Amino acid sequence: MAIATPGTQYTPSTNGNYAIEAHSLRIYYGDFLAVKDVDLNIPRQKITALIGPSGCGKSTMLRAFNRMNELVPTARTEGEILYNAVNIYDADIDPVEVRRHIGMVFQKPNPFPKSIYENVAWGARINGYKGNMDEMVCEALQQAALWDEVKDKLNQSGLSLSGGQQQRLCIARTIAVKPDIILMDEPASALDPIATLRIEELMKELTQKYTIIVVTHNMQQAARVSDYTAFFSLDEADRAGILIEHGATKKLFTNPEKTITEDYITGRFG
Amino acid sequence: MSKNPHKPPRHRMPPQLETEGFIPNLMRRHRVGKFWLVIFRFATIVGVIALATLLLNVANSAFGYVAIENKIDPDTLAVNGVELDDLPKAELVRILQENVSTGLFRRLEHEEPFEERSRIEVYGLVIERVVEPRVVQQWSLQDSLFRGAAIKAEVARDYPTAELEFKSWLDRYFILNPQSARAERAGVRTAILGSLWTVSIAILFAFPIGVGGAIYLEEYAADNAVNRVIRTNINNLAGVPSIIYGILGLAIFVRALEPLTSGTLWGLADPTTANGRTILSAGLTLGLLVLPMIIINAQEAIKAVPSSLRQASFGLGATRWQTVWHHVLPNALPGILTGAILSISRAMGETAPLVVIGASTFINQDPNGPFSKFTTLPIQIYQWTSRPQDVFRNIAAAGIIVLVLLLLSLNASAVILRNRFSRRLD
């Protein structure tokens, strides 16, 4: 599923276990350095949580994985992100194709003001899906654990659903374009605890097929749902976001290597 | 709950809280609110009064008593005791032939053979050309309502042969007749058609270009100095006096592009004029005039589309164009159409640039395409109000009513269209 076949000079450093790798990543907004020198490997078909205090660059980091930062005119990225042995920031890589392979779910549920069916079908259609659309929509909604609730009202507006249902609709919409990796930017922060729980269960089910990277502010959520956790914080010197520690969630939460990580996850700061 | 939401409810004051550092000022705050409420209400009332005065003033001239004298008494045209009203078509044609000049009769026959004309039509011609009713004196609606008896006495004294009748200057004939030098016979058909033609061309020209420009500026153009200058100056253009656009249109469309706008390039030119002072020139000039308005409104509408929608679209692997076409435009459409509605009103009421372009002040031929000479309703009204005879003031008033009604119906259809689009979205 190579996104392009450029004559890349990079040696395929990608170990088969990693879905995506960031190497020496630096992200600027104008002159401001938001993310500094991050090296991060994301294991395949696992959930990796990015945590850290506000403004530490974790959302920026997440958006770097599918080049969404480029929608901000002043944003600039240095370093490389390897996906299937290809640097997605190479000049000849089309960000539009990257985003199809690496989908995104946003903090606030943002269904299109169209019918539930169209919400799911649209992304697949514009990407050239030629199979049976009805089956595909049904399958995506089932995978997103939404089918039973909406199967009788597929023609109603996506905005008529509750917040939690809307967020699952957004997940179904993302699944429908058959991505490889799903990025989630605080997907449950606008939802009530029950809806949050359903999203978390869904995320676990989705790891059977997808790699998930999730940004969260919620320590318990990170502990509950993720397999790996990356802790970001601010460099005191230049206020840039840096990766402090990355590892298996269990280890990071029970036996962190750095004191600053421990302080954060035990609630002593942040 | 108080019924009037603006009126502060008369609450009982809770026991005074003597808090250090706070001065009790609730009464004063309510008083300030009330003061501004009075000011705003006054502003609204001034607006309503101004509008009512305008409407009354127009109605005052458009309706009222008129004293009519006939050149030939219709009773003398009765044949064998059958009244003129009841005569068959053949008799009416004969009367017409006997009473008008051979030249006029032949011209009428040439325009449409009498055999094909309906009886009503021939009857109308007899009244118009033979009986020739003439308004010798007219009164305002106000006088007609409150001084009826005095008017009757005045007519009996001054115009013994005249008939007094209550006339609505706005009637079927006024709308269907072409322009005429005689106020009784003048109508606005030519002007209505001219207005519809020019406004249609203006919108067809300005809407796609304006929306396209707005899409480019909002979705594609980088935020650099050049584009900022362009954005600012489009806003400035919206404030340029319309006569300047007239001069621009005269230089570009009427003069420089004359072969195009006169139609000679395509061999479609109106042989009687064959110059650039055509409907096409007028429409394009009005199009330039409303272009900034359409761009600004479309820009605002596009800006108001939530960026979360764009992000969702990009996140699914949509290109910029797919995002604009499938999400931004449909959601901005109601706002864009609001701009179009405002532009239609503006183009419809514009007079000055068309005077510069060279609208015909007297024309009784319907426009038959973009290369005809033209006049429009505002031009016609302006021209009638500047005539010395009082009676033209009355048809000018009737013309104003036609203009307002036309404007309202065009706007209403645009609003219906807009509401249908916005309903489809949620």
**Which pLDDT value is given to residue B387?**
87
Residues of B in contact with A106 (CB under 8 A): 308, 311-312, 315
The domain over range B189-425 is classified in CATH as 1.10.3720.10: yes
Does the distance separating the beta carbons of B327 and A99 come in below 8 Å? Answer: no
Contact between residue A228 and residue A248 where contact means Cβ atoms under 8 Å apart:
yes
**Which pLDDT value is given to residue B10?**
66
**Which pLDDT value is given to residue B13?**
66
Q: Is A5 exposed, middle or buried (0-12, 13-18, 19+ CB in 10 A)?
A: exposed
Does the distance separating the beta carbons of A112 and B309 come in below 8 Å? Answer: yes
DSSP B137: E
Inform me whether the C-beta atom of residue B327 falls under 8 Å from chain A C-beta atoms.
Answer: yes
Does the distance separating the beta carbons of B222 and A123 come in below 8 Å? Answer: no
Optimal mutation site among A122, A159, A178, interface B, most CBs of chain B within 10 A: A122
CA distances from A156 to A108, A114, A117, A159, B250 (A): 20, 8, 8, 8, 54
Tens digit of pLDDT for each residue in B50-60? Answer: 999 999 999 99
Question: In the predicted model, is pLDDT for residue B380 greater than 70?
Answer: yes
Q: Which of A96, A159, A174 sits opposite B426 (nearest CB)?
A: A159
Inform me whether the C-beta atom of residue A206 falls under 8 Å from chain B C-beta atoms.
Answer: no
Please, which pLDDT band fits residue A82 given cuts at 50, 70 and 90?
Answer: very high
Q: What percent of chain B has pLDDT over 90?
A: 39
Question: In the predicted model, is pLDDT for residue A229 greater than 90?
Answer: yes
Contact between residue B179 and residue B187 where contact means Cβ atoms under 8 Å apart:
yes
Q: How long, in residues, is chain A? A: 270
- Domain covering A18-110+180-265, topology: Rossmann fold (3.40.50)
What the block records as the tokens of B30 is 């309510």
Inform me whether the C-beta atom of residue A108 falls under 8 Å from chain B C-beta atoms.
Answer: yes
Most distant CA pair in chain B, distance: 106
**Which pLDDT value is given to residue B7?**
62
Inform me whether the C-beta atom of residue B24 falls under 8 Å from chain A C-beta atoms.
Answer: no
ipTM score for this prediction:
0.89
Q: Domain-by-domain residue ranges, chain A?
A: 18-110+180-265
Rounded CA separation B147/B139 (Å): 10
Inform me whether the C-beta atom of residue B317 falls under 8 Å from chain A C-beta atoms.
Answer: yes
Q: Coil, strand or helix: which one is A171?
A: helix
Does the distance separating the beta carbons of A99 and B314 come in below 8 Å? Answer: yes
Q: Domain-by-domain residue ranges, chain B?
A: 63-167, 189-425
Tens digit of pLDDT for each residue in A230-248? Answer: 999 998 888 899 999 999 9
Inform me whether the C-beta atom of residue A178 falls under 8 Å from chain B C-beta atoms.
Answer: no
Chain B residue nearest residue A174, CA to CA? B316
Does the distance separating the beta carbons of A68 and B309 come in below 8 Å? Answer: no
Does the distance separating the beta carbons of A106 and B312 come in below 8 Å? Answer: yes
Question: In the predicted model, is pLDDT for residue A118 greater than 50?
Answer: yes
Rounded CA separation B315/B310 (Å): 8
Rounded CA separation B315/A109 (Å): 13
Inform me whether the C-beta atom of residue A104 falls under 8 Å from chain B C-beta atoms.
Answer: yes
Point out which residues pair with A246 in neighbouring strands: A230
What the block records as the tokens of A230 is 């990356």
Q: Which of A71, A73, A123 sits opposite B316 (nearest CB)?
A: A123
Closest Cα in chain B, distance from residue A200 (Å): 21
Does the distance separating the beta carbons of B331 and A113 come in below 8 Å? Answer: yes
Inform me whether the C-beta atom of residue B147 falls under 8 Å from chain A C-beta atoms.
Answer: no
Residues of A in contact with B306 (CB under 8 A): 110
Of A82, A91, A77, A84, residue with least CA distance to A37: A77
Inform me whether the C-beta atom of residue B331 falls under 8 Å from chain A C-beta atoms.
Answer: yes
Rounded CA separation B47/B38 (Å): 14
What the block records as the tokens of A108 is 């606030």
Tens digit of pLDDT for each residue in A53-80? Answer: 988 989 999 999 999 998 888 899 999 9
What the block records as the tokens of B165 is 């009748």
Q: Which of A108, A123, A170 sits opposite B317 (nearest CB)?
A: A123
Instruction: Count chain A–chain B contacts defined by CB atoms under 8 A.
Output: 66
Q: Which is higher by pLDDT, B126 or B283?
A: B283
Tens digit of pLDDT for each residue in B122-136? Answer: 887 888 788 878 888
Residues of B in contact with A110 (CB under 8 A): 306, 308-309, 311-312
Tens digit of pLDDT for each residue in A123-142? Answer: 999 999 999 999 999 999 99
Residues of B in contact with A163 (CB under 8 A): none
Please, which pLDDT band fits residue B368 given cuts at 50, 70 and 90?
Answer: confident
Optimal mutation site among B227, B316, B320, B323, interface A, most CBs of chain A within 10 A: B316
Asked which of A179-183, B65-69, B270-274 is least confident by mean pLDDT, the reply is B270-274
Whole-model pTM: value is 0.82
Question: In the predicted model, is pLDDT for residue B191 greater than 70?
Answer: yes
Q: Which is higher by pLDDT, A76 or B422?
A: A76
Question: In the predicted model, is pLDDT for residue A4 greater than 60?
Answer: no
Rounded CA separation B370/A15 (Å): 70
Please, which pLDDT band fits residue B33 given cuts at 50, 70 and 90?
Answer: very high
Contact between residue A58 and residue A52 where contact means Cβ atoms under 8 Å apart:
yes
Q: Give the ranges where A57-192 is alpha helix by DSSP (H).
A: 58-64, 95-101, 116-126, 133-143, 147-150, 163-175
Does the distance separating the beta carbons of B306 and A71 come in below 8 Å? Answer: no
Does the distance separating the beta carbons of B316 and A103 come in below 8 Å? Answer: yes
Inform me whether the C-beta atom of residue B413 falls under 8 Å from chain A C-beta atoms.
Answer: no
A186-A189-A190 Cα angle (round to 5): 125
